[in-house]
Structure 1
């Protein structure tokens, strides 16, 4: 019989919130002592950096490493706005009944979780109201999705230039704290380090907002985001309280069964180990070969239509489109290295679920940073083999079809007529392939570099062709929310 661990409830999270960088002001009001927050000891930079390092959580500022959009063979540091507690910016800035209900549910959750962790109820209500008011102001300065075009988000700075542009924050210190590693001298960061600043105006407004806000409120908001991201790793009373919130915001009506939650955690954490098990059991090489043939058939049909039926794209642009279609790299099934046991021997060592999650997040936090200074491996997958989905990557000009997607009803084996697979997954292949030529993918050339290779006349013709779809969708109205669908040419793919 397995020996059960003692009931831990909030103890693991309280250990986290005892750390100087993670102290939650409202919690210190009740627990005092080692949990007491002090404005003199609090440092926003260290807190944001340690959230990124220990929780793989970006609050206010998102820092990550990915291919340079204009030099896609090299990795570069990118700085961007971070997400909000609620998924939609409109939930904060509109006054529809649905948006008001979301904000009320969020405030109630903030207060209750603070109290459940040890904060006094009166202080929790007052300080969480102030924290939510701060987040509402934050939502107003977040760059909306439709304005986040590839061109607008490509702003290359050195850290020294960024420091002159926004002097209220120590950018070099922040990047160093997140990126530098004693074990890897190549990751040394200087003021000349190039970075892509994806939302410069947001950062400008962000530090105006921070400087005009009580530090206690900013700290309460930032630490709330840490706690919010870890609620579902705590005991069942927290899970049921989160369920009350999720009923309002997502319509969820019951907790995920424990077995389902644990299986999903293992699958999403040990992605290549579980991928190997899946491939061994459910994936045969004849599937891979058949899928590769199918992709080539769809590619041929796409190029044939492009050359013979496209009447709005001029010849030079059409020629470059054909070249791009020919070199789209198709990945099918899984990366070969998962068949090598050496790559799969990573273990979790903590004794509680919360601890295992935290260990995993610390690993994830460093996984993208480790690619800095390296060439982009165009053959790398970065996709869980068990994923039931398909993808297009503009920076590598590749389409990916993991083994999890190559199952019925999407994909039928060699014992079935090929028409079934062409009708089911062939549609998905065509969908992913055309992402390389939609209103975002067309901005990247055949090598994955951000480059206007379409002529102005072809862009104008494309935009004309999309107008009917935009007008159609703008005519749809959602009565319950009191909103019209808002689409733009940026979203028309």
Structure 2
């Protein structure tokens, strides 16, 4: 994956509002004009330049001139490119992009995401933008359902019972649902007027949160019922449970369970001596929330202390990521009946019957990645009072619901995020709301985006470039002197079998299919809290109907309007959503050097993920399978060890802390391999065609390739965000994605004539692919 950490949980869904590790975007209090045009003062100069580059009326000469100007102004031309190429390429980037108050850091990806958010906002706020479909529209000559919500429909009372739990299907067009969700999120007057009432109502249905109630009765506490109810709202607490392809049989959907996630970004935040300040901030955040909800002060302090102490103990029994690197060792497949016998203290039969909303046979297969953790968890729960367990479960649930509530809760969250990520202010409300729609009704919003902005030429170009990159990688495989012929043959077959998904899935242009995808989601233009719950229940329901079904490997679940790219080990599939096919990654009028150095390296990066430390364990069909010879495996490990040790030697200047080369090795291998493939493919293209150059930028085409690769990773970070990244991220910081990769590239050294032994051309280089 290009920009964000992947999890073991292939296809795993996340809670609707647990987005802070990705977008980090709640809000400022400001009036937003109904229509945002490209000349709005809220659009930054850089965003305006992005709009100009995307203007279909721009001439090829104008596009190249504008891009050359942009690239030159970011460069520090006083720096020797053979000493520090990151400084040479990005040394002036921070002058044009100081870190915004609402960010922990700011880089090229964030700039592109914000530009994309502006476009999505305009589509959601437009009264005229409508979906475009390739099929016949749904008939509208039917009687309206009694609960069908139209803009002027009176708000039902109480909405929670009459609408959200109403079993009738909501037939609103999915585009209208997306716009209604955005409108409800933006209606801060209604959200503030309702205050905490929607949450308190829900907590009452969940039989009460002890921390808020002096007379909570522990004898009525049903642990399994509560855990299952929270899972119905798409929350994993104490155990992570999802439905996904079996990693040893990728054609079959199975129930999968793993150890828990935690309330802080990783277990190190709870266990490291240097993380005391984060635990204290987390403690205060919890107190702030329960006080807003009306917790009695005489008992709340003790309850909060018990919650934190319990979560520290929970962190202690979770396995360290390094203990879990070998998937074969932690994989266990058993039946539901066998799991019940292994951990009889947890009523798995009842849990799955509630979550799946039907009786699940005891013969149902389950894949477990945490057998040891389950036993430790049962021991911990047996020593913990019911009140503490109930308080903890509901705290984790409430934590996720904070974003759906009024400004008091947002202020408490911002105070916590300031210490955790260094974020000085909450982002604009509109940006948060755009992210909510894109994360949860992304295919509907994708319909609007593709119809308004997507150029099919970019899709066709990317398909062609992918074929060129695959050919380049196969050639690298053929000439790899450390691979035996058997492993080479199977590896080439895996490349040939890779599925390619570019732009968007066909579903978004099929009205019936798109409507069916979101048919059970009830969306009201005023009630954001309940809309969120409806989406959460839809996600859980939509996931659990897959139990025991055959995997459709042609399906993709990634929203089209995002700036990222992915490789799926289970599907042996690479995916490039429409949102990433924009400058600086790609433009049809760019010199091909820029396109190969941008989207070309991204393509190569994702191809290489099929052959990194984890991807290589899966065969061409996406199954965990030992297809490497022992000799090839040993040689791979030695080459990967070189990469690990190289990146271990890099120190992040903002916090004077070394990288973790082991945790980041998969992404580092992909970066190095992607660059090599892309440059090889570009050279083969150059043998047949002449490339353009950029006005005012005195670099030849081969140098432009490496410059654009480097500028993709320009960025700056606050110390707090840098610390967080080092504890949690599987990617190296942008500076070292440039320096580490180029130091290993003889092609780069030749292009810039860097002498052997200089900082950017060391004698000893590391290479896997």
Question: 1:422: how far off?
Answer: 1.2
Hey, what does 1:184 align to over in structure 2? Answer: none
Q: Which residue of 1 aligns with 2:530?
A: 355
Task: Return the alpha-carbon distance in structure 2 between the equivalents of residues 484 and 208 of structure 1.
Answer: 37
1:465 counterpart (639, 644, 647): 639
Question: Could you say which residue in structure 2 is the equivalent of 1:411?
Answer: 586
Q: Tell me how far 1:74 sits from its aligned partner.
A: 0.9
For 2:231, the equivalent position in structure 1 comes to: 52
Matched, 1:135 2:311: yes
Q: Secondary structure at the match of 2:213?
A: helix
One of 311, 332, 357 as aligned partner of 1:155: 332
Cα distance in 2 for partners of 1:142, 1:350 equals 42
Q: 1:170 aligns with which of 339, 343, 347?
A: 347
Structure 2 match to 1:326: 496
User: For residue 17 of structure 1, what is the aligned residue in structure 2?
Assistant: 203
Of 180, 194, 205, which aligns to 1:8? 194
Would you say 1:307 and 2:483 are equivalent positions? no
- State the 1:292 CA deviation: 0.4
1:326-377 deviation digits (Å, cap 9, x = unpaired): 1111111111121112233445137322111111111112222122232111
Question: What TM-score does the superposition give when structure 2 sets the normalisation length?
Answer: 0.60
Is 1:343 matched with 2:343? no
Correspondence for 2:212 among 27, 30, 34: 27
Answer whether contact 1:146 1:490 (CA < 8 A) is retained.
Answer: no
CA contact (8 A) 1:92 1:136 kept: yes
Structure 1 residues 192 and 420: CA distance shift in structure 2, 3 A: same
Q: How far apart, in 2, do the equivalents of 1:125 and 1:80 lie?
A: 31
Q: Over residues 231-267 of structure 1, what are the superposed CA-to-partner deviations in whole Å (9 max), with x where a residue is unaligned?
A: 1211101101110000011111111211112222122
Residue in 1 that maps onto 2:390: 219
For residues 19 and 57 of structure 1, what CA distance do their matches in structure 2 show?
Answer: 16
TM alignment of 1:178-189, pairs within 5 A: 178-181=355-358, 188-189=359-360
Q: Contact 2:646 / 2:661 at 8 angstroms: preserved in 1? A: no
Equivalent position to 1:234, from 401, 405, 410: 405
Residue 436 (structure 1) aligns with: 610
Alpha-carbon distance in structure 1 between the residues aligned to 2:603 and 2:281: 41
Where 2:219 maps in the other structure, the secondary structure is coil
Tell me, yes or no, if the aligned pair for 1:439 and 1:489 is still in contact at 8 Å.
no
Determine which structure has the larger helix proportion and give its number: 1
Answer whether contact 1:396 1:447 (CA < 8 A) is retained: yes
Report deviation, 1:110. Answer: 1.0
Distance of aligned partners of 1:485 and 1:288 in 2 relative to their CA distance in 1, 3 Å threshold: closer
**Larger Cα-atom Rg:** 2
Name the residue aligned to 2:133. none
**Structure 1 unaligned runs (5+)?**
30-35, 182-187
Per-residue CA distance 1:390-431 (angstroms, 9 max, x = gap): 000011101000111111111112x33333211210000000
CA distance in 2, matches of 1:387, 1:178: 30
Q: Distance in 1 between matches of 2:196 and 2:664?
A: 45
**Equivalent position of 1:254 in the other structure:** 425
Q: Which whole-Å deviations, capped at 9, do the CAs of 1:28-71 have from their partners, x for residues lacking one?
A: 12xxxxxx532111111111111110x21100011110001111
Q: Would the aligned equivalents of 2:648 and 2:659 in 1 still touch at CA under 8 Å?
A: yes
Contact 1:72 1:376 in 2 (8 A): yes
Rounded Cα–Cα distance in structure 2 between residues aligned with 1:77 and 1:426: 37
Shift of 1:471: 2.1
Partners of 1:388 and 1:489 in 2: how far apart? 23
| Mapped partners of 2:496, 2:566: distance in 1 | 17
Alpha-carbon shift at residue 73 of structure 1 (Å): 0.7
Check the 8 A contact 2:403/2:410 in 1, yes or no.
yes
Q: Distance in 2 between matches of 1:389 and 1:43?
A: 42
Deviation at 1:489, TM superposition (A): 7.4
- State the shift of 1:147 in Å: 1.9
- Asked if the contact 1:329–1:399 (Cα under 8 Å) also holds between the matched residues in 2, the reply is yes
Q: Does 1:369 align with 2:544?
A: yes
Could you tell me which residue of structure 2 aligns to residue 426 of structure 1? 600
Alignment partner of 1:397 out of 563, 568, 572? 572
Three-state SS of the structure 1 residue aligned to 2:610 is helix
Number of residue pairs matched by the alignment: 475
Against the structure 1 CA distance between its residues 369 and 180, is the aligned structure 2 distance closer, same or farther, given a 3 Å change threshold? same
- Cα distance, 1:171 vs. partner? 1.1
- Counterpart secondary structure, 1:18: helix
Deviations 1:442-483 (A, max 9, x none): 111001111011111111101111222222333445698786
Counterpart in the other structure of 2:247: 69
Higher relative contact order (CA 8 A, sep 6+): 2
Alpha carbons of structure 1 residues 234 and 76: separation in structure 2 relative to 1, 3 Å? same
Q: Distance between the aligned counterparts of 2:209 and 2:665, measured in 1? A: 39
SS at match of 2:432: helix
Instruction: Give the distance between the partners of 1:454 and 1:211, measured in 2 at CA.
Output: 44
Match of 1:32 in 2: none
* Equivalent-residue separation in structure 1 for 2:398 and 2:286 (angstroms): 9
Whether the aligned pair in 2 keeps the contact of 1:111 and 1:121 (CA below 8 Å) is no
TM-score (norm 1): 0.92
Distance 1:161 1:311 in 2: 47
- Give the Cα–Cα distance (whole angstroms) in 2 for the partners of residues 450 and 281 of structure 1: 41
Q: Unmatched 5+ residue regions in structure 2?
A: 1-33, 35-151, 153-186, 670-769
Distance 1:85 1:489 in 2: 21
- The DSSP-based 3-state class of the residue aligned with 2:563 is coil
Say which SS state the counterpart of residue 366 (structure 1) adopts: helix
Question: What CA distance in whole angstroms lies between the structure 2 residues aligned with 1:463 and 1:121?
Answer: 56
- Rate the CA distance shift 1:128–1:479 in 2: closer, same or farther, 3 A: farther
| 2:366 equivalent to 1:195 | yes
